[in-house]
Amino acid sequence: MDLKTAAINDLITSQIQTLFGFYKWCQSFTDPRVENWLLMSSPFPTLVFLALYLAMIKYGPIYMSKRKAFKLKWLLVVYNFGITMLNAWIAFELLYCGLKRNYNFICQLVDTSDDEYEVRIARAIWWYYFSKLIEFMDTFFFIVRKKTRQLTFLHIYHHSTMFAFWWVGAKFVPGGSALTGAMVNCFVHVFMYSYYCLAAMGPSVQKFLWWKKYLTILQLIQFTIGVVLGLHAIMTQCQFTRWMQYVFVCYAFSFIVLFSNFYNHTYLTESDKKKTY
């Protein structure tokens, strides 16, 4: 082995050791209560599921291109009703336990103790993370029903990043100020999946569903409040994990941009746009 090859091998070994050291350092911040919970010990299962999800988006429509679309009417009703109930339970569990612990819903540190309500909060946030894996089925149903126009950048970005983002939340901060974002999002999802459940029942019910666009408005309000509260926490030096506050603000702002674009393209007619000029 010549000196150049040896130097390259040493450099690669050094970089691997550095990355492994960084990984171990990150792992040291794991909330000890969740370390042995399902999918929590390592990021790799989450990354595998995410890779499979993206592969499904790429190859699923190709597989379905020469096949008949599935109807799945009552499966969709049951699925959306189940997601609605799960989000309702998570939202009320977080609210109830937060009130029991006298949480400050704007700035609250994570309590890693084995207090009954703190463990329940951590478990509810884990279920919130896991619900994002279940919600990959939204995309699967679009594909097998050949509704590929629904596979927008917003849809894919939302589903994939929420699953990854909340692995971090459940792993490192399953409580504290993370509770507020998860709780509010679950309440919004109760309305959203209730709409999907009713819409899946067919035209006889769909004609009464006049409030679809208000779901988008509700989501925009949610993310705007999230950005405001996040900036407030940063400016008031809230001691909740600082790097996560910055990430949350940027992440919520990205949704404001994307949902605003979706609202403009979906609900504003040309005449509506002219009236705004």
pLDDT tens, position by position, 70-87: 999 999 999 999 999 999
Q: Tokens 């999002």, residue?
A: 185
Number of domains, the chain: 1
Q: What residues have CB less than 8 Å from 53, skipping those under 6 apart? A: 136, 139, 159, 160, 163
Query: Is 3 inside a domain boundary?
Result: no
Q: What residues have CB less than 8 Å from 39, skipping those under 6 apart? A: 45, 46, 129, 130, 167
Q: pTM here?
A: 0.91
Task: Judge whether residue 228 has pLDDT over 80.
Answer: yes
pLDDT tens, position by position, 234-259: 999 998 888 889 999 999 999 999 99
More confident residue, 2 or 128: 128
Task: Judge whether residue 93 has pLDDT over 60.
Answer: yes
pLDDT at residue 272, rounded to an integer: 56
Q: Known catalytic residues?
A: 158
What is the average pLDDT score of the chain? 91
Task: Judge whether residue 270 has pLDDT over 60.
Answer: no
Query: Is 9 inside a domain boundary?
Result: no
Query: Is 35 inside a domain boundary?
Result: yes
Task: Judge whether residue 198 has pLDDT over 60.
Answer: yes
pLDDT at residue 23, rounded to an integer: 58
The answer to whether 227 touches 249, Cβ cutoff 8 Å, is yes
- The CA-atom distances, in angstroms, between 115 and each of 34, 96, 98, 112, 175 are 14, 14, 12, 8, 12
71: domain range? 31-205
